């Protein structure tokens, strides 16, 4: 025979367990997984073409977007025609030419390049968080850069900032550090 006290204690324990499971689920769901989009260039050179990406085209509504541009793919001369994109990181594994005015791409994590590559980035960038760019291949940024972040350049390749930078009104100017290897 089950006593009333046991039922109350068990119900209370189950309720506490359900509350903890709910809180844990909420905490884990707030850490969204990265949405990785890999360029294949199959449909053309515009970023908005879903068939030009494995994983579909990135959208402004996605959190934690990672863009991967692999070696040996079609359409390495492309245009960001998607407004209001926020990108966590960009990986350039070959020589690419990226344009995109007038759209400003917000970058929160950084850019990496591979050895032997030489890419030109001619799409406006907004740097909103401190980040590290790891360059094994040369990168020319020939577009306006805005923001309040500290940019740390690592790697043996060259970073050329050919476009204008406007950090007016920010509490911190763009700061670029290049530590010795």
pLDDT tens digits along 17-67: 444 444 334 334 434 578 999 999 999 999 999 999 999 999 999 999 999
- Dig out the tokens for 153 from the structure: 């350049």
Give how far Cα 121 sits from Cα of 95, 116, 144, Å. Answer: 10, 16, 10
Q: What is the pLDDT of residues 124-180, one digit of tens each?
A: 999 988 889 999 999 999 998 888 788 888 998 999 888 887 754 444 445 565 555
pTM of the model: 0.77
Assign 3-state DSSP to the chain and report helix, strand, coil percentages, each to 5.
15, 40, 45
Between CA 101 and CA 177 the distance in angstroms is 27
Between CA 25 and CA 83 the distance in angstroms is 32
Between CA 161 and CA 43 the distance in angstroms is 31
| Continuous H helices in 30-83 | none
Under 8 Å between Cβ of 139 and 162: no
């Amino acid at each position: 025979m089950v006593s009333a006290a046991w039922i109350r204690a068990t119900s209370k324990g189950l309720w506490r367990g359900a509350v903890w499971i709910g809180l844990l689920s909420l905490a884990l769901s707030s850490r969204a997984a990265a949405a990785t989009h890999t360029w294949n260039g199959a449909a053309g050179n515009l970023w908005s073409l879903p068939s030009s990406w494995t994983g579909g085209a990135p959208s402004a509504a996605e959190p934690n977007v990672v863009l991967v541009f692999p070696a040996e793919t079609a359409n390495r001369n492309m245009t960001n025609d998607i407004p209001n994109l926020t990108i966590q990181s960009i990986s350039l594994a070959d020589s690419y030419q990226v344009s995109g005015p007038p759209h400003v791409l917000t970058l929160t994590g950084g850019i990496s390049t591979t050895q032997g590559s030489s890419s030109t980035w001619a799409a406006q960038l907004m740097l909103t968080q401190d980040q590290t760019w790891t360059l094994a291949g040369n990168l020319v940024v020939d577009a306006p850069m805005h923001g309040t972040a500290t940019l740390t350049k690592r790697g043996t390749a060259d970073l050329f900032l050919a476009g204008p930078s406007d950090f007016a009104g920010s509490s911190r100017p763009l700061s670029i550090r290049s530590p010795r290897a």
